Chains A and B, each alone.
Chain A
């Protein structure tokens, strides 16, 4: 198909990036389980190492199976290119390593996934990258947090676990005014529910581990280059705009144009930091992407019905699900995620911390674990697990107070999901 008309989302989910194998004709994407690729001769090797030819060298830098996944998700997000890495955390590390120098700052939403709060507060500090927190529900707080050292803004489209939908376009306007890129973690929404680049995001990151892979079997992460940020408008992003000392003075933005950020993440960040994705994991995640629309719609429909049921339950104090009318994020959800508000939400059980623990230990079909975005229904009590390292104030700010229970609603039959919750709530 030519590019006269862009194929639809379902078609891209199946076909983007994946032509039959040129050597064998294999129709499914082969698992290129190899560390390295032979060179034709010394000149070919020089062309590949010098980035003058397209091709594969070593799986830490690129692999044909991983590349299909990269092109697939880039197409689904409407980006120019992508880079797959070992985990969502690795994606965030490589993005910031490409953008920031020691002493730089970035502004991030305070309601992020607890693991990201830890990574930003502690691990990134060791690189001299300083996070300044803002409030995802108040776009003007991002503007107030800016300083001359700010190099990026980081938000989640749907925050985990609080379920807040961020006003991406409003934060993007602030980022554009400050001439810094907006990075959006789109893990909970997936491009099926929300495409942040269409709302002004410059970079999208994913934990592929969640709904894109979707089956709870592989850890992976990914960076999408939105292709529209001008890295050369000033000298603040030298990894892209200045001659690169490890490539004989090549200027990456000038050379690779609107996909230079993804290339910089690969040939500098991934090459030097090393968190490469296994080709086998890439294959499993690719298989997941083919059914993304079907799964996400079912996840969202089930989650909405479960949220409605819980909101009427006598042992439930409150439900935070942006898909429910009356929720503080409902208006933004209708704008940014009109097909559904995703599968992950929190609710408060009456009885606080102890009731939360009792509920989790009484469920029989829900799996008690730290992941989200599996076909199976999952549950966790954040205060005693994922958010345990945070202070009480940080827990509450992140939507993970003592009574909070987080669900990742699966795609089982709705009646069975509700029956399991009802029997567990009856035991509190």
Chain B
């Protein structure tokens, strides 16, 4: 598939369909983008498993951290990669060795490895590259508009409050649609 541009339906389908996310390269430093994403996704109700060999056994954003993907004690729906593009191939191969297989490989903003993406797609996984799941969730839920960001969507349906505290929207819409 074309990885230069993704439709909103493709992205929202992925974010609505996964529950457990491994975040490879998550940092314990609170100002790092990988920490932001881990904390945000955990607050949205995803079960997050940071993967960071130097921090294994401790917590990142309240989530138990593991040294490698194969150490995670339950099936992972999505592997989110916070590593250089050149390192993404090895991580994808580790992900493809998991049983059961993940459903999605996600590479962060600035991370793209087309060969690894092709291997994952050949194994039946969906792939997203050079995107951030926090930005995409914020964009499709409407939250990112509070920061004046162009969500590139228009929608006359009422956004849904997530039910998890205040100022939190979900991917559901007022007329049904995908649920997260």
Contact = CB atoms under 8 A, between A and B. Distances in A.
Contacts of A53: 39-40, 43, 167
B36 A52 contact: yes
B138 interface: yes
A195 to B, nearest CB: 13
B8 A2 contact: yes
B166 interface: yes
Nearest to B143: A54
B30 interface: yes
Interface residues of A, number: 58
Interface in A250-284: 250-251, 254-255, 257, 259, 262-263, 266
Interface in A12-50: 12, 15-17, 19-23, 25, 37-38, 40-41, 44, 47, 50
Interface string B154-177: 111111110001111100001000
A77 to B, nearest CB: 9
B166 A22 contact: no
B33 interface: yes
Given A2-B8, A3-B7, A257-B109, A19 B148 contact: no
Nearest to A52: B36
B127 to A, nearest CB: 18
A56 B167 contact: yes
Interface string A64-82: 1011101100110001111
Say what secondary structure dominates the interface of chain A.
loop
A56 B166 CA distance: 10
A326 interface: no
A372 interface: no
A16 B154 contact: yes
Nearest to B135: A257
A25 B160 CA distance: 10
Interface string B133-164: 00100100011111111111111111111000
Contacts of B168: 55
A62 interface: yes
A377 B153 CA distance: 36
B9 interface: yes
Categorize the interface residue count of chain B. 35 or more
B154 A248 contact: no
A2 B9 contact: yes
A2 B7 contact: yes
Contacts of A3: 7-8, 152-153
B145 A55 contact: no
Contacts of A250: 31
A54 B138 contact: yes
Contact of B158 (A20, A44, A70): A20
Interface string B27-38: 000110101100
Interface in B38-52: 39-40, 43
A83 B149 CA distance: 9
Interface in B107-153: 109-110, 132, 135, 138, 142-153
Contacts of A84: 148
Contacts of A247: 31
Contacts of B110: 257
A9 to B, nearest CB: 12
A132 B45 CA distance: 53
Interface in B1-59: 7-9, 30-31, 33, 35-36, 39-40, 43
Given A40-B166, A52-B39, A53-B40, A15 B156 contact: yes
Nearest to A40: B165
A249 B7 contact: no
Contacts of A147: none
Nearest to B161: A22
B39 A64 contact: no
B148 A21 contact: no
Given A71-B148, A71-B151, A83-B148, 7 more contacts: A12-B154, A19-B158, A37-B167, A62-B147, A62-B148, A67-B148, A81-B150
14 contacts: A12-B154, A15-B154, A15-B155, A17-B145, A21-B158, A54-B138, A54-B144, A54-B167, A55-B146, A56-B146, A66-B148, A74-B149, A255-B36, A257-B109
Interface of B: 7-9, 30-31, 33, 35-36, 39-40, 43, 109-110, 132, 135, 138, 142-161, 165-169, 174
